[in-house]
Structure 1
Amino acid sequence: MEFEKIIPASRLAAAPHENGFSIDRAVLAVFAEQAFKRLSFTFPQEHLESLVQVAADPASSENDRLVAIKLLENAVIAAKGSLPLCQDTGVAQVFAWKDAAVSSITQTAEAQTENQTAGFSSDSAALTSGIGRAYKENNLRFSINMPSSLFDEKNTATNLPAQIDIFSTDNAALCGNGAEEHIQEPSYRFLFCAKGGGSSNKTDFTCATKALLNPQSFEQFLKTKIAALGTAACPPYTIAVVIGGLSPEQNLLTLKLATTGYWDAVEQLNTADAGLHWTDSIGGVRPLRCREWEERIVHIAAETGLGAQFGGTHLAAHARVFRLPRHGASCFASIGVSCNAHRNLVGYISKEGAFLQKNIADPQPFLEKALRAVRQNNEAALHTGTSVLHNAEPVAIDLGSLAAARTALSRYAVGQAFLFSGDILVARDAAHARWKALLESGKPLPEYTLHYPILYAGPAETPAGAVIGSFGPTTANRMDPYADELMSRGAALITIAKGNRSELWRTACKKYGAFYLGTIGGAAALIAEKHITARTVLDYPDLGMEAVQLISVKDLPVFLITDDKGNDFYASLKRV
């Protein structure tokens, strides 16, 4: 892992002290701003390599390879710094470990004048300020709703508050068998995360018993939970599993850090003996890593057949399994994922300055490597006669007539790929809730709901000169409760989103002759730049990114998931 110095030592503080150093809190604001800008547009090398591996794997389905290529194309576009990697630029989260020998000071009057900003009363306030600037100035999405009562809320229009957890540590590191200690250089270590709602929603926590602690029971537990993940959180995933914990909170924090790759970074950095000790425990407990089960989880994920969103073997790119101590009466078990928009970054501040993990500024060579691998796989398949999953060419569909589009879709089996061109209505949770309120008050649905397919999405902020900000689908099944209310009135007869849907929606599709199609999750910069040609806000502008909009698309790639006969593509793939 490589780091880049982004703030020199001379700017850290005005007052060094014995055995440690001070940090001007203005530095923390700049540090956080740069971290969230970097992780919103670029990936680390390991993540890009994992997408190349999906494209290169002979066992990958054609759709696995397609998704991998599109995600790498997306990374190339996002790295230009205008359209973020994903439309859901996430909840901003900061985990920090601050040694006792490190202190923070409020900006000096001179620094305040130079930076034209007020002093910060706490580290959290400084980090929050930097995060707010990053979201405001980089076309990121404002997704956070602040409650005014138990049931009422409003978008903050800043993406704040951020989740900031700062842990006090010392700079003593255990040596050998832990019987002695030595002093490491004091530092302030950080993990910056942008966690999207779709992948957070896949977190599963179970209060199990000791009956789980045998290979047969644990494997069945994994098969059940991994199959239930589905594809709505944008695979290929990093799947993390944590068993045990002295409390539910310890278990879930270990899980959270596992999904970000933090434990891998700690292992790598502490082994490198770079003079800093990265915290490798939670509440004084070092998690036990169970590598033998990590390979098994990747295999179980492949056996689901769900693949990298549209069938195949690459539901999971990586897995991490950890075991913690437990109370004899408790056996906590959790599972969580990081989606393909893997936005996590480590950094640290020491006497030498402030350092951020390096990401790849130009992913083009990774895309080219993946394309070469796909060509080689295709040539090998031609020579051997090997078949790949879902090899049919995409069919172009003109959305000028909703009735004609439905007639065309009805001719094809689930799994078929299409290229949609025409006008599409964009609406998601908040708009659907308002439509439901209209119906409950005896009013009709807005006329526009009857004339277009509906795509569930909430775009990021629009860059200057662009048609729209980063744009990708949100999870389909959150809108499932509206099935009969909408379809019975002629709305939602073609919907587009990501992930599987419930039996309620499938039944309604069969009853009303409706269709559900999936488009690629995690390719938001690509969709915005290559496939959306116009955009108009139609209704509810006060909802911000959840306003009802009309977009024009050209050759938007979609896959038929549920047809008008009630057939379901994902149900046909189940293998475990």
Structure 2
Amino acid sequence: MSNKPFVYQDPFPLKKDDTEYYLLSSDYVSVAEFAGQEVLKVDPQALTLLAQHAFHDASFMLRPAHQQQVADILNDPEASENDKYVALQFLRNSDIAAKGILPTCQDTGTAIIMGKKGQRVWTGGGDEAALAQGVYNTYIQDNLRYSQNAPLDMYKEVNTGTNLPAQIDLYATDGDEYKFLCIAKGGGSANKTYLYQETKALITPAKLKNYLVEKMRTLGTAACPPYHIAFVIGGTSAEATLKTVKLASTKYYDGLPTEGNEHGQAFRDIQLEQELLLEAQNLGLGAQFGGKYFAHDIRVIRLPRHGASCPVGMGVSCSADRNIKAKINRDGIWIEKLESNPGKYIPEHLRQAGEGEAVKVNLNQPMSEILALLSQYPVSTRLSLSGTIIVARDIAHAKLKELIDSGEALPQYVKDHPIYYA
């Protein structure tokens, strides 16, 4: 029997939040007294307003730090021409999106909200509904795609037409503030979330780094690099590991300590992060088409684990790095300040630059001729396409497969024109 004294360890001890916020409104909040203590009264309309503006901002703007990382690629002599081309297009895309009409990414994502509600915050209940109303308002009023499908039975689905349901996870904490992290998570990056069940044998200097490099290689480029990559080693459960992966990829855990203790606090391994970033640069995959910038940065977090288990998690936040904090306190409703002028990161000499050299491909010619032309060039060659192209998504591919499985012929237009997966 242990004679160790009881010690409560905050599992994720974070430094003071230095996020820059703007005041959205001082309405809908007030201070009252209950049982000799001041409590923060929050009208449900505050939650709706917060969620609506947070998801609007995140849909059209990204964090300044992310935009600076993209801009840095343009000035790196080690970056490939493809790296620089992709970086410039991202900045141009952000400059257009920041005007609030066309979103950063056509996959406008699943709305995910994590909230931490201080014990001296009183809303009267119904927090999830009020937050969901804000998500609804944004997706209905802005030019945002509806991506959520509701099952009618095990096999039939219908698009909800509102982008609801949102994923809303609320936690009780100390204090008199209500703090939030809002994420618009696209399917491409969400699909690059992995759990591996390993053992203690993996946790050696000789094995761990090589293991993580190989897992990183499997991410490929389908989720729009450069990525913000997160690895989590350990975890009290599989779900705790993956939850930490998600939050680490948003930079939520950047303020963790850099060493562990005997009570099990989470920590970041900065040295391993730097080593893995160098390995990512050496993979050669680059920003989608070959080069150095497969990742902007990497986070590695170590967690406590059961002696018989060693879960390892991996995930990414993609180039549509849509994460935004918000909070409610006695001064009002606050939203993280995102970059409203990403055009300033584009160097002057590139502002009017064209698209550079590209192979011109006329898509209206016979498919055999298109394939013959493409076969003359290596993968990663930049193309300038003109002509007819089919835009499709998963449901279209499923319908085409149904035709094939039933022995029917594909429509002629599918054979005559390339399909763009949007």
Alignment TM-score, normalising by the size of structure 2: 0.89
Q: 1:423 aligns with which of 376, 379, 388?
A: 388
Q: 1:413 aligns with which of 370, 373, 378?
A: 378
Are the equivalent residues in 1 in contact too, given 2:179–2:327 (CA < 8 A)?
A: yes
Give unmatched runs, 5+ long, in structure 1.
106-120, 172-185, 269-283, 376-391, 458-576
Letter in 2 for 1:408: L
The 1-side partners of 2:48 and 2:289 are apart by 41
Listed as ranges, the matches of 1:465-544 within 5 Å are none
Q: 1:27 aligns with which of 41, 46, 55?
A: 46
Listed as ranges, the matches of 1:230-249 within 5 Å are 230-249=220-239
Answer 1 or 2: higher relative contact order, Cα 8 Å, separation at least 6.
2
- Indicate the SS of the match to 1:192: strand
Letter in 2 for 1:319: I
Instruction: Report what 2:408 is aligned to.
Output: 443
The 2-side partners of 1:59 and 1:83 are apart by 32
Q: Is 1:400 equivalent to 2:364 in the alignment? A: yes
The 2-side partners of 1:315 and 1:352 are apart by 41
Letter in 2 for 1:401: Q
Distance 1:285 1:34, change over 3 A: farther
Instruction: Report what 1:156 is aligned to.
Output: 160
Are the equivalent residues in 1 in contact too, given 2:266–2:302 (CA < 8 A)?
A: yes
* Pairs aligned (count): 396
> How far does residue 313 in structure 1 lie from its aligned partner after superposition?
0.7
Instruction: Report what 1:72 is aligned to.
Output: 91
> How far does residue 285 in structure 1 lie from its aligned partner after superposition?
6.0
> How far does residue 448 in structure 1 lie from its aligned partner after superposition?
2.1
Q: Is 1:256 equivalent to 2:246 in the alignment? A: yes
Q: Is 1:12 equivalent to 2:29 in the alignment? A: yes
Q: 1:167 aligns with which of 171, 174, 177?
A: 171
Instruction: Report what 2:4 is aligned to.
Output: none
**What percent identity do the matched residue pairs reach?**
43
Distance 1:413 1:247, change over 3 A: closer
Instruction: Report what 2:315 is aligned to.
Output: 336
The 2-side partners of 1:83 and 1:133 are apart by 17
Listed as ranges, the matches of 1:51-62 within 5 Å are 51-62=70-81
The 2-side partners of 1:73 and 1:229 are apart by 26
> How far does residue 14 in structure 1 lie from its aligned partner after superposition?
8.4
Distance 1:293 1:331, change over 3 A: same
Q: Is 1:133 equivalent to 2:97 in the alignment? A: no
Q: Is 1:196 equivalent to 2:213 in the alignment? A: no
Q: 2:324 aligns with which of 345, 360, 368?
A: 345
> How far does residue 44 in structure 1 lie from its aligned partner after superposition?
1.3
Instruction: Report what 1:288 is aligned to.
Output: 267
The 2-side partners of 1:53 and 1:402 are apart by 42
The 2-side partners of 1:87 and 1:285 are apart by 41
Q: Is 1:226 equivalent to 2:243 in the alignment? A: no
Distance 1:14 1:223, change over 3 A: closer
Question: Which structure has the highest helix share of the two?
Answer: 1
Alignment TM-score, normalising by the size of structure 1: 0.66
Instruction: Report what 1:299 is aligned to.
Output: 278
Distance 1:444 1:299, change over 3 A: same
> How far does residue 26 in structure 1 lie from its aligned partner after superposition?
1.0
> How far does residue 256 in structure 1 lie from its aligned partner after superposition?
1.0
Instruction: Report what 1:143 is aligned to.
Output: 147
> How far does residue 129 in structure 1 lie from its aligned partner after superposition?
0.5
Are the equivalent residues in 1 in contact too, given 2:151–2:158 (CA < 8 A)?
A: yes
The 2-side partners of 1:65 and 1:255 are apart by 28
Are the equivalent residues in 2 in contact too, given 1:210–1:331 (CA < 8 A)?
A: yes
The 2-side partners of 1:406 and 1:287 are apart by 52
> How far does residue 291 in structure 1 lie from its aligned partner after superposition?
0.5
> How far does residue 444 in structure 1 lie from its aligned partner after superposition?
2.4
- Indicate the SS of the match to 1:215: coil
Instruction: Report what 1:94 is aligned to.
Output: 113
Are the equivalent residues in 1 in contact too, given 2:229–2:295 (CA < 8 A)?
A: yes
Summarize deviations over 1:112-155 as a string: whole Å, max 9, x none: xxxxxxxxx61000000100110111111111111122222211
The 2-side partners of 1:253 and 1:429 are apart by 27
Summarize deviations over 1:70-123 as a string: whole Å, max 9, x none: 000000000010000001111100001001100103xxxxxxxxxxxxxxx610
- Indicate the SS of the match to 1:321: strand
- Indicate the SS of the match to 2:116: strand
